[in-house]
Each structure stands twice: as structure tokens, then as C-alpha cells.
Structure 1
């Protein structure tokens, strides 16, 4: 136990992961590794110190209640995982704004299970173009054969981040995992605590899916070229 601080009529009990005798040793190693890879995160979330995370990759975004009905373009991005989450993120373009909604974020899902889930719960998505992580072409082929419109995503992390930063980001309130990633996705630091020109390799599953969609898709030009509305997509989102 770190310490007990007593105020008038109030007792503050402070504990950390170091006090947890049941903590898995491998998970403890992950937390200890944050001392080097993300010291600000370690101070705030592992040691319980007051503060804010510095060096966030996406510092500004707005939380909204729902996606708007009129959009210039509607696409989605897919990041594959298994032990780590697979993520599908819907992205709507409206001039200099992006409207973003987390559609899928789950671990231990095969491609076949993802396809079944998306068709059952978000069947409109087969009518949209998706930009998929392309490291495993066989997964892309499974989605094509299931009737999805599949495009391989561009891979550059920094160029993709820069592409996203050209827009104002609006994220739906129910996109809980994506919002968590936004609040924790920071630039990596060297041993001296200096920020590097590369983000941490964590809290990036939904954000990678978002980056794939925004960086890879042809942008609507001119802005008034056409509108997609959710009413035109059977079932909406």
C-alpha cells in the first residue's frame, strides 16, 4: 500500500498495481515496460499520480451523439487481430469534418465470425467500400467472397496520421473503445523522455482502422460532388 492520507471527514487510500498480489506476472511485465515506452502513462495509470498524458497523437476531437444523415462520402476501415482486438470503424466525410463511429471491436474472432457478425448486425456495410489491413490477403479474399467491397489499405503510419489531422474529428459517444484509444494513443519517447516521430504500438486497433479508411480512400472532390445519406442505405447504421 502506498499511503493513507486523512483529511477532515475524508480518508484517501492510495494503492497501485504493486499492491495487487494476484496480478499476473506477464501483465506486470507489460506495466513495468511502460516506464520506458510511455512514462507519462505509467505515472498516471500505473502509479496513480495526478496529471495528464502528454504527447497525444490526436489532441482534439469532439464527442457527438450520432452520425449526421447527410455526408459526402461514407466508407469504413478494418484492422485485423485475434488476441488483440479486430476493429471496424465507419467514417463519414463532410467537407473538413470527419464523423466516426466504432462498428466492431472484439477479440478472438476469426474472419468467418467477423463476416457473420457484420452481416447480421450491420448488413448495410456490404454496400460501402471498406479499406482493409492487407498483411493477410487470404482474409481480404474471404470478405470479397462474402460480398463485401474490399480495398487494400495504404500502410504508412505517419502519412496516415497526417491525413487524419487535416480534418476535424467527431466521434460518436457509443464508440467507447475508440474514445479510449484516442485518450491514450501517444507519441513514443526515447530513454531521455524525448518524443519520437512514431506513435506507441498500443491503443491503436480502432485508430488503425480509422487511419486505413481516411488515408486510403479517394476524397470527395469537389465537396459538392455527391451526398450519401443513411436513409439511402437500407437499415441505416
Structure 2
């Protein structure tokens, strides 16, 4: 009997010594505040494998620019989450948009994990876009604003027009920095004048809530109000 008890005690001690230590994970860390906008999941084959070319993308929103160490916390959290949810994932991308700028397609920070290598890319154009999007309270409540005032997005080119009630606005092309302009409208005809490029003509359909642009490169482009 004593031999049996001794053997059981020995096994218990060995089990305790071999018990894995609990390590702190990024989920245990207080992360900067963010909002998850969407997740673009990779394609998984029928045998459960994920091609190295497949991306796992998290799109998030943050209220204001963050220092690099805070971005690294967010990056590490989503890398751990991605590797846990999708075993064998090779590319994890986190796009952090400043509040109100996701429709413009210009992330403030792109935090990437590719083949084990991490990087963080900052685009200061996003800050300029957020500043242009900030609208005074009295302007936001102006019920007499022109019907064209608002944000228009083209699914085909991922470009965005923004028209403000003070007859200014800007264009972002495929996520680039903003090109500012002034505008005036007469019926369906809209004329915008860039500081550098000069005037351009657009067509506004108030009923459909769309803008139409004739592009030499792409033909007819339709921008829908967001």
C-alpha cells in the first residue's frame, strides 16, 4: 500500500513539473481602442490548406493617429488571432483607418505579416483626409445645403469625391492623398476647379444620387453617394 501511495505521489509531482506555463498573450494586454470594420478571410482548400498567396485582412477604425508602439500592440493581437483562427496563414494584414476615412480607401497604418516578417507602414495622407472631413456643427446641420453635398464612391476605380457645403471638396484617387477643388452646380451640370489641374465637368443625378465622370482612361465612371 505504501509503495502504491509513493508511486502516485511521484506521478503527481512529475505531472506538476511538466505542466506548461501560462504565457501572457496579446489578448491579455490592454489594447488601444479600435473598432473592427470588416474581415476579409482567405480561401481554404478542401483539405484544409491555405495558399501562401492568400491574405487574411482585418480592417479597423481608430479615432486618431497612434504611436508606433500602440500600433505594434494591435498588430501582434491580430497576428495571434489570425494564426489561431487560420492555421498555416502566411499573410496577415491589418489596415487601420482614421475615423470617417475608410470610405476614402486610405488607411493611416498598414500593419503586415508576410512570411514571418512584420512591418508597419504609415500614410500621412490619411491625416489630411480626416482634417478635410471634419465639418463644423453649423455646416452639418444646414438643411439648405446643396443636394450634391456628400461623399461619392466609385466601385470600379475605388476613387472618392467629397463635396462640402462651402463649395469646396476633394478627390482621392485609389487611396492617394486628397486633391482639393472648388465647385459650382447648375442643374445636372457640375464644374469643379482643381488648384493644379484646372476645371473638370461632371453630371449630377439628384434622383439616383450619383455623379458621372467622363474619363479618357476609363470611359464613363459612376460615383454613388455614400
> TM-score, length-normalised on structure 1?
0.23
Q: Which has the higher contact order (CA 8 A, sep 6+)?
A: 1
Structure with larger Rg: 2
- Which structure has more strand as a fraction of its residues? 2
